């Protein structure tokens, strides 16, 4: 299935995973992606941007999956228990892809607290990885990396699981440093928010609300 961004015939099927497995402590707990922003949940906005960029989409979240039933996506929990961080979500998503989408070569991950990420994120990551013959790719903006917005080869699933189980690996950057990982830069236009502006605290949510209102 081709789409306007990934050109599936060229890159093969691309699966997206929305990482919502955290505890949202700085937001006061609960499900941060279910907070309302501009009349929609943050998660609805994230999904709206992700769907045109991938061939299939799933949600990584721990706890009762029924609370996300309204979005109609497969919901997977972390294989490693205890809120082991986003790398655990990547591991779990790779396992899901190998079982349910064995033809897919690539997994792309999205944070669930950055609703303004680029609409050409996946296309850029795929093209850069192919051009540079790299193993994987991560987004950067304003000199800061965003390791949760990344492109992952499903072929590394066993390597990742071994690192997490045998070495207790938990930090994305430590694992990706073992491979040829590209940093792909995304720039904001003048006067615009950073494309990876993330909503961690109530004041961030308020700032995003003001931004949306000013765009209307």
Token pair in block for residue 13:
């099927």
* Within a domain: 3: no
Under a CB-based contact definition with an 8 Å cutoff, are residues 121 and 184 in contact? no
Range of the domain at 43: 8-215
Q: What are the pLDDT tens digits along the chain (216 aa)?
A: 344 444 444 677 999 999 997 554 444 456 889 999 999 999 999 999 999 999 999 999 998 999 999 999 999 999 998 888 999 999 999 999 999 999 999 999 999 999 999 999 999 999 999 999 999 999 999 989 999 999 999 999 999 999 999 999 999 999 999 999 999 999 977 678 899 999 989 999 999 999 998 887
Q: 121 and 4 in contact (C-beta within 8 Å)?
A: no
For residues 215 and 22, give the distance between their C-alpha atoms in angstroms, rounded to a whole number. Answer: 30
* In a domain? residue 1: no
Tell me how many domains the chain contains.
Answer: 1
Residue 73 lies in a domain: yes
Q: For residue 37, give the H/E element and its range.
A: strand 36-37
**Domain membership flag for residue 142:** yes
Residue 111 in any domain: the answer is yes
Assigned domain for 138 exists = yes
Which CATH number belongs to the domain containing residue 122 in this structure? 3.90.550.10
**Is 101 a member of any domain?**
yes
The closest alpha carbon to 211, from 111, 115, 142, belongs to 115
pTM score of the predicted model: 0.91
């Amino acid at each position: 299935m081709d789409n306007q961004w990934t050109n599936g015939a060229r890159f093969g099927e691309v699966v997206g995973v929305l990482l919502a497995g955290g505890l949202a402590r700085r937001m006061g707990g609960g499900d941060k992606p279910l907070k309302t922003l501009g009349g929609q949940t943050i998660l609805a906005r994230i999904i709206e941007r992700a769907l045109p960029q991938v061939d299939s989409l799933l949600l990584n979240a721990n706890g009762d999956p029924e609370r996300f039933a309204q979005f109609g996506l497969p919901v997977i929990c972390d294989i490693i228990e205890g809120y082991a961080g986003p790398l655990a979500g990547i591991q779990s998503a790779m396992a899901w892809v190998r079982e349910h989408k064995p033809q897919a070569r690539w997994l792309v991950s999205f944070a669930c607290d950055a609703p303004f990420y680029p609409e050409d994120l996946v296309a850029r990551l795929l093209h850069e990885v192919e051009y540079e013959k790299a193993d994987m790719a991560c987004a950067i903006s304003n000199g800061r990396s965003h390791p949760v917005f990344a492109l992952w080869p499903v072929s590394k699933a066993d390597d990742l699981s071994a690192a997490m189980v045998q070495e207790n690996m938990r930090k994305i950057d430590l694992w990706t440093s073992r491979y040829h990982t590209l940093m792909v830069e995304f720039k904001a236009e003048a006067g615009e928010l950073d494309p990876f502006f993330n909503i961690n605290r109530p004041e961030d949510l308020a700032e995003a609300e003001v931004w949306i209102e000013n765009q209307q």
